[in-house]
Amino acid sequence: MPKVLIADDEPHIRLLLEQTLEDLEDEGLEIFTAENGAEALDSIKENKPDMVFLDVMMPKMNGFEVCSEVKNNLKIPDIYIVLLTAKGQEIDKLKGMESGADMYMTKPFNPDDIVKKVREIL
């Protein structure tokens, strides 16, 4: 059963992503959420999601730190990580890719693009 983690400190963004993906739950998708970076890292270790939507600017650990920990220190290469952020500058995208992210998506995002990406990856 495919699993997705949504990690964002903004409750309305988490809810929007959950609602966007809820139709896929009928197809067996399991959704987890986290409201800060430390919680996201714990959830990744515990639930082993296939895909993570990870906000960059979160308390306790930012998205870059979580991504780097997962990809470079824990060596879990098979998790597809999408960094979500309002910061769309090239330097931020570069930092995201250097941390090991598979994709960088700026907010606001199109919910249809989220569903399409989940279907494509999972």
Pairwise pLDDT comparison (96 vs 49), residue with the higher score: 49
Q: How far apart are CA 73 and CA 95, in angstroms?
A: 17
Assigned architecture for domain 3-113: 3-Layer(aba) Sandwich (3.40)
Q: Is the pLDDT of residue 63 over 80?
A: yes
Domains of the chain, by residue range, sit at 3-113
Torsion, CA 19, CA 64, CA 122, CA 1, rounded to 10: -80
Whether 88 shows a pLDDT value over 70: the answer reads no
Q: How much is the average pLDDT of 84-110? A: 84
Q: Give me the helices (H) in 26-110, please.
A: 37-47, 63-68, 90-98
- 99-116 average pLDDT score: 90
Q: How far apart are CA 122 and CA 115, in angstroms?
A: 10
